[in-house]
């Protein structure tokens, strides 16, 4: 997926690097797979802001994406590759032989008129969903289930993938995008290939207004606040603010926040990589 650099004809386009969208084949979504989205502006059921710096943004409609791929042994033909405003990856509209249409996460290299399958009859080709027990070692996969029949939850964003490293008993050992190595049941489904739109991280918005269109409001630096508003606020002059921490006092820059008693911790073989400071 190529990106394009804009000529500096306005201040907003001077540094902008945008998506060329060359892989997309349709701009009209499937009406039967659309659902409304109600915006909360970061507010909970009491009307209080619990997620700051949210609000505004362009109106969207949700695309109902099939993460489960439970329609086994029924071939599906790819009708189009489309943009989804609710995620960084592209989505593919597929039509099954029985006439049903569904959206799936589009993998890199999937094209219109390709035929995909899921289940025991599927082969390890791009776009096919297979049980981890049937996938060859070393294969790159995405949209991976953590529990059977729950639907894919791992490696769904643009350009991500996991690698099937080994099989041990009833578990498969996967190396995840974060660098973590963990065990997942062999009865879980995963889709072959890497997620599309791999150059998504190269985009540069170019101006603050584009961030507002995405529903993000301006963020105030903690060191610019008063002590009553943030632990890093206050001080005479341009004080550094002390050790970086959240508004509730949780230290940033490497403090572990994972619950030690979490049940799935026993399935983690190697923790994710941490940035060297």
The domain in which residue 90 lies consists of 3-201
Residues 106 and 136 in one domain: yes
CA dist 181 and 106 (Å) reads: 25
> Which residues have C-beta within 8 Å of that of residue 103, sequence separation ≥ 6?
30, 33, 63, 64, 65, 66, 82, 84, 91, 92, 93, 94
Say if CB 161 and CB 193 are below 8 A apart. yes
Residues 122 and 231 in one domain: no
Instruction: Calculate what percentage of the chain has a pLDDT beyond 90.
Output: 90
> 272 lies in a domain?
no
Q: Any idea how long the chain is?
A: 277
Condensed to tens digits (0 to 9), the pLDDT of residues 180-228 reads: 999 999 999 999 999 999 999 999 999 999 999 999 999 999 999 999 9
pTM for the full predicted model: 0.91
Tell me the C-alpha to C-alpha distance, in Å, between residue 241 and each of 206, 226, 233. 29, 10, 6
Condensed to tens digits (0 to 9), the pLDDT of residues 6-24 reads: 999 999 999 999 999 999 9
**Nearest Cα to 191, choosing from 227, 231, 151, 234?**
151
Burial (CB < 10 A; 0-12, 13-18, 19+), residue 66, is buried
Residues 230 and 130 in one domain: no
User: Is the per-residue pLDDT at 115 higher than 60?
Assistant: yes
Residues 154 and 41 in one domain: yes
CA dist 177 and 254 (Å) reads: 18
Tell me the C-alpha to C-alpha distance, in Å, between residue 90 and each of 33, 83, 158, 191, 253. 15, 5, 8, 15, 32
Residues 126 and 48 in one domain: yes
- Return the bridge partners of 34, or none: 63
> 211 lies in a domain?
no
> 33 lies in a domain?
yes
> 150 lies in a domain?
yes
> 258 lies in a domain?
yes
CATH code of the domain covering residue 78: 2.40.50.140
Condensed to tens digits (0 to 9), the pLDDT of residues 34-61 reads: 999 999 999 999 999 999 999 999 999 9
> 269 lies in a domain?
no
Residues 36 and 111 in one domain: yes
> 37 lies in a domain?
yes
Residues 149 and 225 in one domain: no
Domain count, the chain: 2
Residues 94 and 182 in one domain: yes
> 156 lies in a domain?
yes
Residue with tokens 């509730």: 248
Mean pLDDT estimate for the chain: 94
Residues 117 and 230 in one domain: no
Residues 35 and 118 in one domain: yes
């Amino acid at each position: 997926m190529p990106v394009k650099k804009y000529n500096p004809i306005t201040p907003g386009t001077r540094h902008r690097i945008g998506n060329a969208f060359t892989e997309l084949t349709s701009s009209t979504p499937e009406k039967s797979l659309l659902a409304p989205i109600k915006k909360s502006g970061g507010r909970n059921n009491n009307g209080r802001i619990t997620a700051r710096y949210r609000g505004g943004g362009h109106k969207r409609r949700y695309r109902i994406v099939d993460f489960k791929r439970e329609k086994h042994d029924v071939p599906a033909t790819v009708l189009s590759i489309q943009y989804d405003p609710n995620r960084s990856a592209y989505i593919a509209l597929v039509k099954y032989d029985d006439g049903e249409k569904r959206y799936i996460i589009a993998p890199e290299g999937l094209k219109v008129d390709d035929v995909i399958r899921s289940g025991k009859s599927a082969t390890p080709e791009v776009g096919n969903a297979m049980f981890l027990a049937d996938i060859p070692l070393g294969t790159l996969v995405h949209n991976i289930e953590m529990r059977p029949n729950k639907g894919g939850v791992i490696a769904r964003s643009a350009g991500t993938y996991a690698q099937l490293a080994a099989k041990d008993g009833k578990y498969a050992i996967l190396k995840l995008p974060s660098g973590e190595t963990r065990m997942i049941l062999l009865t879980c489904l995963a889709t072959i290939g890497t997620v599309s739109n791999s150059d998504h991280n190269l985009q540069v918005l170019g101006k603050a207004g584009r961030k507002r269109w995405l529903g993000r409001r301006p963020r105030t630096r903690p060191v610019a606040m008063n002590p009553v508003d943030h632990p890093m606020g206050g001080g005479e002059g341009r004080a550094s603010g002390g050790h970086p921490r959240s508004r509730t006092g949780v230290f940033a820059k490497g403090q572990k926040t994972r619950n030690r008693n979490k049940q799935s911790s026993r399935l983690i073989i190697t923790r994710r990589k941490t940035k060297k400071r």
